Structure 1
Amino acid sequence: MSEDRDESITAREALHAAPGPRLQNPFYPGWRAFKDYEHEMRAFKVIAKREAPAICARIGGFAELEAYTGFHAFDEVKETLQFSFGHRPMRRFTLEGKPASENGASLVYSAGPTGHCMVALYPPQSDLGRVHEKLIFLRIGRISAARLRDRLARDLRDLVAYEMVGSLDTRPTLRQRLRVRWLRLVKYKQMDGGFTGVKTHRDITDIANALSGKAASSVFAGVMKLLGPLLVLAVLGYLGFSGLAARLAE
């Protein structure tokens, strides 16, 4: 009888015992940041596709490019919006005697699974040649739909300038040449031999500060010449652009 009573008391105490501490999901903050940013990207895609035609109509040289190459907006991938000039025959021949053609430049907005957005320019490429860089990073970070919209007109002007400068058969204006030269000077870009650019280290420093929440600019700038390429790949991987990082590392 005593043993039964002891067991019943033990069971009653266990039934009314306070619950243990609730475990926190370590992956929830990153997932939540991505889900929140999905709304920003969704809103921006609607705004950008609606406003881009009117913006492009005011950009010098756009109408002529569109007439011969076409201009398209792609948003089939939920996290990405891409504006691109199309494919055109060049009326020339390759060394193998085949008709040469060229694919136009692209402006890409891509959201990573950590809630960061990457904005990049991809150059035109043809069977006969291409520019030295593989892409130019315009910006990367947690950028709201409103901020992306505010910079949409400038991004589209940069796309037109990049198409005019990078294509083999165009005659860019002096202003377009200077703009692309400026972008190549101050923005990070991927070259065949690695990463170059950002003389002031501003873009990568902003990324580092955003990730850590602490200003480490002086130390960071001092090691950028040695660690720049590895750091860019690491940041892209951390922000969820692992596929792009893998392509750039090739």
Structure 2
Amino acid sequence: MSPSSPASPPASIAERVTAVRSRIDAACQAAGRDPASVVLTAVSKTQGAEAIDAILATGQRVFGENRVQEAEGRWANRLADLPGLELRLIGPLQTNKAEDAVALFDVIETLDREKLARALAVAAAKLGRSPRVLVQVNTGAEPQKAGVLPDEADALIQTARDTHGLNVEGLMCIPPADEDPAPHFDLLKSIAACNGLSVLSMGMSGDFEAAIGRGATHVRVGTALFGERNRP
């Protein structure tokens, strides 16, 4: 290509979805796993209507959102027309937003403290709706990051289940950006196994193949599907 030649146009969202699904299939094959055992969660935070329509047209129906209010604006008017849609909260949740989160989301992946477990239980009883819950574990013990510390995870899981009656089905983590994610994925898998949990939400655009190799059941992919994120 000469210096004056135009750059290749960016891949369409449909092409990106196909590429990501192919990578998931290949990672599953390498790990000796059924590709159907891994769910692609499209991280739709900050995306506009055009991008959402484009990815919905590919058949994608599982989406991850960071903020309750933003998700309400993006999805509230679409819910009735999209059977099979699953919304997953993957960002930190304040207790004063617990009721709104319970009303909107099918899965809340970021339970990280008992106070939030209590708020979710109260909201679920009030609304008659009980989203599935994942406990977020701060595997790198990073002070700036949400998540229960690994050595406190067992106690929070037990309290959420036994005291507050939440449907805890798995764990989520976000490894430190500057470290090999594999030990963090292994740690999360170990905590899950000790607590009889089958769902592991781990792996993002840069490391989801490694996560699949270590047992991820859900991978959260944004940039690889939509391109560089739109800033709110």
Q: Which has the higher helix share?
A: 1
Q: Which has the higher strand share?
A: 1
TM range (shorter): under 0.3
Q: Which has the higher contact order (CA 8 A, sep 6+)?
A: 2
TM-score (norm 2): 0.25
TM-score (norm 1): 0.24
